[in-house]
Amino acid sequence: MIGSFRRWRFVISPPAPGADNMALDHALLRRAAATGEAVLRVYSWSTPTLSLGRHQPARGLYDPSAIRSVGVDVVRRPTGGRAVLHHREVTYSVTAPLTTDTIDRPRPRTRDIYAAINHLLVDALRALGAPVALATQVSRLGPAAAGGLLPCFDQATEGEIVAGARKLVGSAQWREGRAVLQHGSILIEDDQQLIARLAADVPISPVATLRAVLHRPVEIGEVGRALAETLDAALVRAGRAPSAAFELDADTAEATRTLRAQYADDAWTWRL
- Catalytic residue numbers, as ranges: 152
State how far the Cα of 45 lies from the Cα of 133, in Å rounded to an integer: 26
CB 162 within 8 A of CB 186: no
| Nearest by Cα to 212 from 167, 265, 145, 255 | 167
Which residues have CB under 8 Å from 113's CB, separation 6+?
1, 94, 96, 173, 180, 182
Which residues have CB under 8 Å from 84's CB, separation 6+?
50, 51, 151, 152, 153, 170, 185, 192
**Tell me, what amino acid is at 42?**
V
